[in-house]
Amino acid sequence: MGSISLYLVNIILISSHILLSIGQEQNENHHNTQQMFDVLDRVHAKCPEITYIYDLPLESVQKRPLRVIVFSDNPKHHELLEPEFKYVGNMHGNEVVGRELILTLAEYLCHEYKKGNEQIKKLVDNTRIHLMPAMNPDGWEIAVQHAWNISKPDQFKDIETMLKEHGTIDWTVGRANANGVDLNRNFPDLDEFIYAYNHDANHRNNHLNFETFVALTSKKDCHNKPYQPETVTVAFWIMKNPFVLSANLHNGDIVANYPYDDSANHLRMYSPSPDDQLFQQLAESYSHANSNMESPKKACGTDVFPEGITNGAAWYPVCGGMQDFNYLASNCFELTLELGCRKFPPGKDLPHFWNENKNALINFMWQTHVGIKGIINNEDGEPIFNATIKVYQLVNDNWEYIDHDMTSNPDGDYYRLLADGTYGIKVTKPGYESQIQYVDIHNKEHQTNAQRLDFTLQSASSEQFNLQRMFRNYMNKY
């Protein structure tokens, strides 16, 4: 029995070594579209109870799926009071580190969950996490094929070797989609609407869905380019799902970029959103967990970013970007993360990028749980959909309105990311009496429960409802 046991132990050790070696080899290789899907399938096969794979309704120009893997203890459905998070990679096809980090992150979440890592189990069980490795799979294929076509004869035995040892060096080929359109300039320009609305005393400040439809039906973006299938399907994905927090992953510098990405006059200048303090905190939650990003040196030989963060328009203005669209078309707060100087580095460098970003990727997901959340019901206990959540912050003994409202989901649940402080939360809905509650926020590291704040709205009398309607009509005129 002793010799048999020893034999089995040796077999297990050898098998483990082989698996680890294979995993390391995979981490040093870039993945084409099919290989990327194979990774997602393997993760799902290993962790079927906490994962779910789906495709967005529209494919890319060259008919490649935009595929997402979900992690949660109930991955197929939104759960009441469980916030939803997303990472989007490879929006620019030749910026590939985010694509590979998301694949490695998917493997890591599955492995650590199965292993019993308490922090990962806590995060996955209390957050619905959506991971899209590639928003622009066509651009990736274009970048790779171009690099292979211009490589010297016999320089590399095949494309995979080229990517592992050399990557690609062209700064522009593959950035756009197969129609030559930059997807991060192709979203409806909701900044234009919000800057115009800010001149009015009573204005819309969130869920600019009508404006989105107006822009899409005009058929051209703010750069006079046609709206692309990748952009349209991602835009509706953003508006349809109850995302709370998000980041899209890029290359070209090392910094965490936050809204607004464009200024009112499209010039380079600091352009704060109403949630500027919170966005800075969210950006620092990533940069401070990435020592290379946090460093004040010129990481890529050009700009210096204090604390590793920047306001988008202060760096350079972007019209039609995805992060501002998230903020103005939905309940979602999004950052743009620039993760390296070189856009398509050699695959052999990928383990370094993972080690540099792993803690930051995880720490940023925890931020989905800062602030408050709750359920909004009527007096009969029925959920109220599309109630408006307004926030007032106590600053120097004065209540200051944060001019960006949230709305409740179909089941009545809502989520409002907030930094530490004292707030007044006001909930309104036509046909109901408004209600306000006050709360002190003290966020804790790696908390999975934002402070709970529920509301029960009472039906307004017909007289009160008519007065509310008259007041709204009056304010809308002026």
Number of other residues whose CB lies within 10 A of the CB of residue 6: 10
CA–CA dist 456, 355 (Å, integer): 47
Q: What's the predicted TM-score (pTM) here?
A: 0.91
pLDDT in tens, 389-413: 999 999 999 999 999 999 999 999 9
CATH number of 33-369: 3.40.630.10
* CATH architecture, domain defined by 372-476: Sandwich (2.60)
Please report, as a single letter, which amino acid is at residue 20: L
Specify whether the backbone of 151 is left (phi greater than 0), alpha (psi in -120 to 50) or beta.
beta
CA–CA dist 138, 136 (Å, integer): 5
Our CA angle for 232, 238, 240, nearest 5°, is 100
Mean pLDDT of 334-358: 96
| pLDDT for 452 beyond 80 | yes
Of the candidates 328, 319, 320, the one whose C-alpha atom is nearest the C-alpha of residue 239 is 328
Please write down the long-range contacts of 76-79, taking CB distance under 8 Å and 24 or more positions apart.
76/52, 78/128, 78/241, 78/242, 78/409, 78/411, 79/128
Specify whether the backbone of 116 is left (phi greater than 0), alpha (psi in -120 to 50) or beta.
left
Give me the pLDDT at residue 20, please: 36
Is there a contact between 468 and 460 (Cβ–Cβ < 8 Å)?
yes
| pLDDT for 116 beyond 80 | yes
- Where along the chain do the CATH 2.60.40.1120 domains lie? 372-476
* pLDDT band of 366, cuts 50, 70, 90: very high
Angstrom CA distances, 398 to 268, 394, 395, 401, 424, stand at 32, 5, 5, 10, 11
CA–CA dist 26, 338 (Å, integer): 23
CA–CA dist 197, 182 (Å, integer): 27
CA–CA dist 248, 326 (Å, integer): 11
Give me the pLDDT at residue 19, please: 40
* pLDDT band of 191, cuts 50, 70, 90: very high
* Tokens at 101, concatenated: 């980090």
* Tokens at 174, concatenated: 């593959």
* Tokens at 141, concatenated: 């294929």
| pLDDT for 11 beyond 50 | no
Number of other residues whose CB lies within 10 A of the CB of residue 198: 12
Mean pLDDT of 306-331: 96
Our CA angle for 4, 5, 9, nearest 5°, is 115
Of the candidates 400, 242, 427, the one whose C-alpha atom is nearest the C-alpha of residue 333 is 242
Handedness of CA 94, 97, 98, 103 (dihedral sign): positive
Give me the pLDDT at residue 7, please: 40
| pLDDT for 3 beyond 50 | no
* pLDDT band of 303, cuts 50, 70, 90: confident
Instruction: State the residue for tokens 């529920």.
Output: 454
Q: Which of 290-304, 329-343, 423-437 has the lowest mean pLDDT?
A: 290-304
Please report, as a single letter, which amino acid is at residue 277: Q
CA–CA dist 95, 136 (Å, integer): 10
Is there a contact between 405 and 205 (Cβ–Cβ < 8 Å)?
yes
CA–CA dist 290, 97 (Å, integer): 15
**Please, how many CA atoms are within 13 Å of residue 173, restricted to the half-sphere of its CB?**
13
338 is catalytic: yes
Q: Which residues contact 301 (CB under 8 A, 6 or more apart)?
A: 341
Q: Which residues contact 210 (CB under 8 A, 6 or more apart)?
A: none
Specify whether the backbone of 381 is left (phi greater than 0), alpha (psi in -120 to 50) or beta.
left
- Where along the chain do the CATH 3.40.630.10 domains lie? 33-369
The DSSP code sequence of 392-454 is EEEETTEEEEEEEEEE--TTSEEEE---SEEEEEEEE-TTB--EEEEEEE---TT-S-PEE--
pLDDT in tens, 49-93: 999 999 999 999 999 999 999 999 999 999 999 999 999 999 999
The helix/strand/coil state of 360 is helix
Give me the pLDDT at residue 171, please: 87
The DSSP code sequence of 191-244 is HHHHHHHTTSSS---S--HHHHHHHHHT-B-TTSPBPPHHHHHHHHHHHHS-EE
| pLDDT for 474 beyond 60 | no
CA–CA dist 68, 354 (Å, integer): 20
Which listed residue (141, 211, 338, 356) is catalytic? Answer: 338
CA–CA dist 392, 439 (Å, integer): 10
| pLDDT for 296 beyond 90 | no
Is there a contact between 204 and 225 (Cβ–Cβ < 8 Å)?
no
Question: pLDDT averaged over the chain?
Answer: 91
Instruction: State the residue for tokens 């200051």.
Output: 400
